[in-house]
Structure 1
Amino acid sequence: MHKMIAKLFAAAALLAAAPAMAEVVVVVNPKAAEASMTREQVAQFFLGKSSAMTPIDQADASPVRAEFYKKVADKDAAQAKALWSKLVFTGKATMPKEVADNAAVKAAVAANPKAIGYIDKSAVDGSVKVVYSAQ
């Protein structure tokens, strides 16, 4: 009985850790000139410091969003949202478009040569080009 409980706890621990182990990649339109970007370049778009590209955010509660902001901007999603709110309030920027999931990010990026988004690496296909991997 104790071995079974220990195995269940081990399995639960692995499942709980799974979202944190997901590899998040930053994607752009395949026609975009950028072949690769640094973490700092990506962060500038998603923290409102550059308007050269249009950031596409995943849903507020998305684990991919939390992982992205932690790894790329060294912030949690709430801190990033607070930064954007300040920029919007002062008239310096508009909030990034927020979409539901990986598929919606790919569709938005594929439709706009100036768009930049992030998805789970497992969702990458020919509709987008990876320019940064947040490991």
Structure 2
Amino acid sequence: MKYSVLTVFLSVAIPSFCSFSALAEVAVVVHPSNQVNLTKNDIKKIYLGKMKNFADGKVILPIDLAEGSDTRSIFNTELLGKSSSQIKAYWSKLIFTGKGTPPKNVKSENEVINTVSTNPSTIGYVDASKVTDKVKVIIKF
């Protein structure tokens, strides 16, 4: 039985593309009192440790979902432009050289919501379907 290159490619590539696209949007959230206006590039800087303060001078406390989370994988690839392993290597280098501290990891999207809702300095991300009125969405993608 002969298989064309296209058939083999599609059988391998389509399932991996579909696994992310089947998920809902990712929402970046802050405390409802936070009046911040951030671009995707600002959020990327925050999560790469290059932006540490909001415009009002308050220290930013980014929250990251645990490794292996589908939402985290989408956030890393779609917003940060890096795979999870690239992010891990990036932070390992900064930690080793004493030039940075990665975002705090939490176990679940509910924990992101609860943490962000109790501290105006935090920023996090969740599957958009998990958003409650306890937080404010600043960007969806």
TM-score w.r.t. the length of structure 1 is: 0.81
Alignment partners' CA distance in 2, 1:90 and 1:68: 25
- Among 69, 73, 86, the alignment partner of 1:79 is 86
Q: For each residue in 1:78-135, what CA deviation from the matched residue of structure 2 results, as whole angstroms up to 9, or x when unmatched?
A: 211221222222222212110111101111111211111100000111111111112x
1:28: which partner in 2? 30
Q: For each residue in 1:12-48, what CA deviation from the matched residue of structure 2 results, as whole angstroms up to 9, or x when unmatched?
A: x88x8354332101001111121x4211011001111
1:37: which partner in 2? 38
Cα RMSD over matched residues? 1.8
2:113: which partner in 1? 106
Alignment partners' CA distance in 1, 2:97 and 2:80: 21
Q: For each residue in 1:57-81, what CA deviation from the matched residue of structure 2 results, as whole angstroms up to 9, or x when unmatched?
A: 0010000000001111111122112
Alignment partners' CA distance in 1, 2:139 and 2:39: 7
Q: Which runs of 4 or more aligned residues in structure 1 lie more than 6 Å from their structure 2 counterparts after TM superposition?
A: none
1:115: which partner in 2? 122
Alignment partners' CA distance in 1, 2:94 and 2:51: 12
